Structure 1
Amino acid sequence: MTVELEEPPLESNAQVAKDLFAGTIGGIAQVLVGQPFDTVKVRLQSAAEGTYSGAGDVMKQLVRNEGLRGFYKGTLTPLVGVGACVSVQFSVNEFMKRHYDGKLNGGQLSLLQFFNCGAVAGFANGFLGAPIEHIRIRLQIQSGSVKQFNGPIDCFSKIYKQNGLYSGIFKGLTPTLVRESIGLGIYFATYEALIARETGNKKIARADIPGWKLCLFGGLSGYTLWIGIYPVDVVKSKLQTDSLTKPSYKGSMSVIKDVWAKNGIKGFYRGFIPTILRAAPANGATFAMFELTMRLIN
């Protein structure tokens, strides 16, 4: 007996394609706005103790030693990679929202359901985000005239040859999955709660919310994301900037013990200022571009 699988309707496939496209546009906007902040954050998180006195010192040294272009080191990887990651985040989140919506027959999703949608999107994205962020971070921390890597392809090739797939390319996967699942659950739940409040209070449709408010809601969502998961991001960055030949850490617990022993709770918040400064413009641009793109193509 053969079972024929029903093909998904063309409308469903078309909607997924639209979600992916709009997410890519949102991801590109996020990179262009947020990359300088991210470079400062990564250098603060990964530098040896005493290298920088703070975010301002990182910026001074970057401008002095590498010029303004230093803030956009490794941009090609996130421009392609983050575009792909954000497209996955938004498309999976939208798919999960439609899944719940079908079960509720058009009823309003609860905050927990919005969190679940974001968490599933984050978990799916983690497998794509971990290697992309690893390569980006390796390129971001390069300084001086002697370069270990000559670009993202060279970086990927050398890491793979030296350390393989899981221990090399996918280094930091576990904290990435934790960060993305919890973080994007908070992220999308916050945004949808703000959207629901706006449409409910003013009795307007989602499409009638102006672009500046979408930016505001996205920025606030970015704040809740990073406040909720920043220590996990520090652990991930420490793992992904560890020596490839003589690593100091065996895994996430090894990083946690080391950071706590050296700096206590403060060690888990190194680089937090540039991250929180980046959260509003980068995530505001992401959500606004996603929503506005969806309005144009739907």
Structure 2
Amino acid sequence: MAEIDAHLVEPHAEEGFTRVAKDVFAGTCGGIAQVLSGQPFDTTKVRLQSAPEGTYTGALDVVKKLLKNEGPAGFYKGTLTPLVGVGACVSIQFGVNEFMKRTFNAQNARAGHPGAHLSHTQFYISGAAAGIANGFLASPIEHIRIRLQTQTTTKLYDGPIDAIRQINKAAGFKGIFRGLLPTQIREGHGMGAYFLAFEALVDHDIKTNKIQRKDIPGWRLCLYGACAGYAMWFTSYPIDVVKSKMQTDALDPAKQQYKGMIDCFQKIYATNGIKGFFRGFLPTILRAAPVNACTFYAFELTIRYLG
């Protein structure tokens, strides 16, 4: 049987606006699945990352106190922002990643290797480009979400619009984008590792079993998605802690604990050492498998349906 290219499967060979629109819509579906399955884990992670020392003893303590003080709905504080925003973010991630894959396929063809499988470097660059493009949208969305998630008994914001208004009033437009640099670093490298892991596993499956991408069973797509989530968080979690610390700092520049990314990094290390960069890691890793399994499965299923 002739070798089947993992990246020029029939639906993905389509060009132009229609192809991009399908990729973006499928990415949006993946983003919605990601938010609904992952918000409780994310709320737990953010509270662990940003709470003052001694507030919680660990992830289970966060869960217990949140359920006692705020009820189950407390896990879904700030969900509206990511439901809209993460849908847009994931659509950008998948849309740019698919575009970059097609670009590299065309580049390989021009180099005299039509139908050649993409290299791991090309997978990584495709994912990194997707992450960097997404970072500009992800940074303000996550900033608003974190402000809402970390509200406890004192309600500071009535919702995402009020949070935007208050942040803009206190720190100006640039205040909304606080944490942009660490977000870009996390997204660039994290998405590179994320899509590399998934696409390399899919590529191996196609080569080994001599099947087309659309024939890979759902359970294996979920498994590959879970592995992609682990690849992302095991390699980018410390910078995510820095980002969260910066985005929960005081809005008034005169009262801010961290003057920038490097200052935040230094102060975390001075206070807690290396372990300070892994606060909230347990709920993140527990979240990584089911959330990213759902994300990739929703994306691939939608693409198969759309054709």
TM normalised by structure 1 equals 0.95
Q: How far off is 1:11 after superposition?
A: 4.3
2:90, 2:15 → 1: CA distance? 22
Structure 2 equivalent of residue 255 of structure 1: 264
Aligned length: 287
Q: How far off is 1:293 after superposition?
A: 0.1
1:258, 1:192 → 2: CA distance? 37
Q: Which among 85, 100, 103 is matched to residue 99 of structure 1? A: 103
Q: Does 1:185 align with 2:192?
A: yes
1:77, 1:281 → 2: CA distance? 21
Q: How far off is 1:268 after superposition?
A: 0.2
1:81, 1:175 → 2: CA distance? 19
What secondary structure sits across from 2:205 in the alignment? helix
Structure 2 equivalent of residue 266 of structure 1: 275
Q: Does 1:63 align with 2:71?
A: no
Structure 1 equivalent of residue 157 of structure 2: 149
Amino acid at match of 1:138: R
2:256, 2:291 → 1: CA distance? 32
1:264, 1:11 → 2: CA distance? 50
Q: Does 1:225 align with 2:232?
A: yes
What secondary structure sits across from 1:238 in the alignment? helix
What secondary structure sits across from 1:204 in the alignment? coil
Amino acid at match of 1:125: N
What secondary structure sits across from 1:113 in the alignment? helix
Q: Which among 124, 133, 138 is matched to residue 133 of structure 2? A: 124
Q: Does 1:278 align with 2:287?
A: yes
Structure 2 equivalent of residue 194 of structure 1: 201
Structure 2 equivalent of residue 210 of structure 1: 217
2:214, 2:201 → 1: CA distance? 14
1:288, 1:164 → 2: CA distance? 39
Q: Which among 45, 50, 54 is matched to residue 58 of structure 2? A: 54
Structure 2 equivalent of residue 4 of structure 1: none
Kindly, what percent of the aligned residue pairs are identical? 61
Amino acid at match of 1:45: Q
2:204, 2:85 → 1: CA distance? 33
Q: Which runs of 4+ in 1 moved over 2 A?
A: none
Structure 2 equivalent of residue 17 of structure 1: 21
Amino acid at match of 1:152: P
Structure 1 equivalent of residue 11 of structure 2: none
153-162 or 33-42, larger mean C-alpha shift: 153-162
Q: Deviations over 1:170-204 (max 9, x none)?
A: 00000000000000000000101100111111111
Q: Which among 200, 225, 245 is matched to residue 238 of structure 1? A: 245
Q: Which among 273, 283, 302 is matched to residue 293 of structure 1? A: 302
1:161, 1:108 → 2: CA distance? 51
2:241, 2:15 → 1: CA distance? 41
Structure 2 equivalent of residue 3 of structure 1: none
Q: Deviations over 1:34-62 (max 9, x none)?
A: 00000000000000000000000000000
Q: Does 1:159 align with 2:189?
A: no
What secondary structure sits across from 1:25 in the alignment? helix
Q: How far off is 1:214 after superposition?
A: 0.6
Give the CA RMSD over aligned residues: 0.9
Q: Deviations over 1:195-243 (max 9, x none)?
A: 0111111111100001111111000110010000000000000000001
Q: How far off is 1:154 after superposition?
A: 0.6
Residue segments in structure 1 that go unaligned for 5+ positions in a row: 1-9
